[in-house]
């Protein structure tokens, strides 16, 4: 009889051993400002109403018509143009993975600016696509136009990802360069607007200019990170093909009902986003006044900041009970931390701890 070790080495894919798991930092007991979550919950009266709605959901049935209702509600919410379709995923993470699955042909590659959202690389590698990260400009973290165009010409990528705004740098890339990249791309281009609720711009009004562009969004940053609903919008004929690789029941009935409820109360979420945008500006102002501290411009609910000593500030924040994301191991982000914008009280704690850490 073969041992489990022998079975694993004979039958699991050989590159699995060397892969690193996606690690979520333990956060119990901390003020959690590490993952761009919306810090607000629903007002109590709405929580109760939601509880009743969820209590009435038939858990014995597979997801069905309500998922179609959610698709329609999101299409209305986004203002989906004529001739376009919307596809739902279990978070945009699942959609990123399904796109890689769709483009998985021998020699296929994925191009994305770097540093960028880590799942573009992870999903490409998991599906056997070649991932090509193209460094952003070192000063402003903008797209490096010649480098992007060269990578597109060399690799002829199946997919180009552009996060608009970008994570972890939080900025919007230059629109003229995006346009040239979109025009040069031989395959599909995904504009990932995960942070759209906090952004001063959207690609939506330009979507119909290019039929090979897919616009991806998520309800996570809107305020439903725990609910796991991502969506993408593209030409109906394209989405129809990608739909074929979607697991049939990928949206849970509970997630679906919670998302529909949230959309019925979208003004509450819009109010929360407005508070967070104002708090972001206050946070940036406070950071600017600290000696040796450089916050970068943000159109998201996070701020990338260069500290005199990121290790020291990160440790001090933790000691004060505030958890942020240390991104300083990424070469382009030496001494940088990525701060999620929280409530006014949470931001006060974070600002005080950061100030102490550079005193
Ligand atoms: N795109 C970007 C740019 C992100 O930063 C994130 C999450 N941090 C996602 C997509 C994934 O979001 P979701 O929660 O919908 O999987």
Does 51 map to a domain? no
| pTM of structure | 0.97
Using a 6 Å CB cutoff, which residues line ligand 1?
36, 91-93, 117, 163, 167, 192, 194, 218, 220, 225, 230
Ligand 1 centroid from CA 17, angstroms? 26
pLDDT tens-place values along the chain, 359 residues long: 899 999 999 999 998 888 888 888 899 999 999 999 999 999 999 999 999 999 999 999 999 999 999 999 999 999 999 999 999 999 999 999 999 999 999 999 999 999 999 999 999 999 999 999 999 999 999 999 999 999 999 999 999 999 999 999 999 999 999 999 999 999 999 999 999 999 999 999 999 999 999 999 999 999 999 999 999 999 999 999 999 999 999 999 999 999 999 999 999 999 999 999 999 999 999 999 999 999 999 999 999 999 999 999 999 999 999 999 999 999 999 999 999 999 999 999 999 999 999 99
Domain-ending residue, one of 247, 264, 281: 264
26, burial (CB in 10 Å: exposed 0-12, middle 13-18, buried 19+): exposed
CATH number, domain at 343? Answer: 3.90.1150.10
Q: Are residues 303 and 325 in the same domain?
A: yes
Determine which residue's CA is closest to atom 2 belonging to ligand 1. Answer: 194
Determine which residue's CA is closest to atom 1 belonging to ligand 1. Answer: 194
Domain-ending residue, one of 220, 247, 264: 264
Q: Are residues 168 and 30 in the same domain?
A: no
Bridge pairing between strands 230-235 and 84-89: antiparallel
Cα–Cα distance between 142 and 300 in angstroms, integer? 15
Closest ligand 1 atom number to CA of residue 221: 14
Does 324 map to a domain? yes
Does 49 map to a domain? no
Q: Are residues 79 and 166 in the same domain?
A: yes
Does 14 map to a domain? no
Closest ligand 1 atom number to CA of residue 166: 3
Give the model confidence (pLDDT) of 208-266 as tens digits: 999 999 999 999 999 999 999 999 999 999 999 999 999 999 999 999 999 999 999 99
Q: Which residues of 266-299 are buried (b: 16+ CB within 10 A; e: fewer)?
A: eeebeebbebbbebbeebbebbeebeebebbebb
Q: Are residues 80 and 222 in the same domain?
A: yes
Give the model confidence (pLDDT) of 320-342 as tens digits: 999 999 999 999 999 999 999 99
Structural domain of 31: 22-42+267-358
Does 3 map to a domain? no
Does 236 map to a domain? yes
How many structural domains are present in the chain? Answer: 2
Q: Are residues 193 and 305 in the same domain?
A: no
Ligand 1 centroid from CA 92, angstroms? 6
């Amino acid at each position: 009889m073969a041992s489990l070790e022998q079975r694993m080495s004979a039958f699991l894919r050989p590159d699995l051993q060397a892969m690193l798991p996606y690690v979520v930092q333990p956060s119990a007991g901390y003020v959690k400002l590490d993952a761009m979550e919306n810090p607000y919950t629903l007002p109590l009266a709405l929580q109760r109403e939601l509880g009743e709605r969820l209590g009435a959901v038939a858990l014995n049935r597979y997801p069905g018509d309500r998922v179609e209702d959610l698709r329609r509600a999101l299409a209305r919410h986004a203002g989906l143009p004529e001739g376009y379709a919307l596809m739902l995923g279990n978070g945009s993470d699942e959609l990123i993975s399904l796109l890689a699955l769709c483009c998985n042909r021998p020699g296929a590659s994925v191009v994305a600016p770097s540093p960028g959202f880590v799942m573009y690389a992870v999903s490409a590698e998991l599906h056997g696509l070649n991932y090509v990260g193209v460094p952003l400009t070192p000063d402003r973290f903008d797209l490096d136009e010649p480098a992007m165009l060269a990578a597109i010409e060399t690799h002829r990528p199946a997919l180009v990802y552009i996060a608009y705004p970008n994570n972890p740098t939080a900025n919007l890339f230059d629109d003229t360069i995006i346009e040239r990249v979109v025009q040069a791309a031989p395959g599909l281009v995904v504009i990932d607007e995960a942070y759209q609720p906090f952004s001063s711009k959207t690609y939506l009004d330009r979507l119909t200019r290019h039929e090979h562009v897919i616009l991806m969004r998520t309800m996570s940053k809107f305020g439903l990170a725990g609910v796991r609903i991502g969506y993408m919008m593209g030409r109906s004929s394209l989405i129809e093909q990608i739909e074929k690789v979607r697991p049939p029941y990928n949206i849970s009935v509970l997630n679906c009902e919670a998302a529909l409820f949230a959309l019925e109360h979208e003004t509450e979420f819009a109010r929360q986003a407005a508070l967070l945008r104002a708090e972001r500006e206050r946070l940036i102002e406070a950071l600017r006044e600290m000696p040796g501290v450089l916050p970068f411009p943000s159109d998201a609910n996070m701020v990338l900041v260069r500290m005199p000593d990121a290790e020291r500030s990160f440790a001090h924040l933790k000691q004060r009970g505030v958890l942020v994301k240390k991104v300083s191991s990424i070469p382009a982000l030496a001494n940088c931390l990525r701060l999620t914008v929280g409530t006014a009280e949470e931001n006060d704690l974070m600002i005080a701890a950061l100030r102490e850490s550079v005193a």
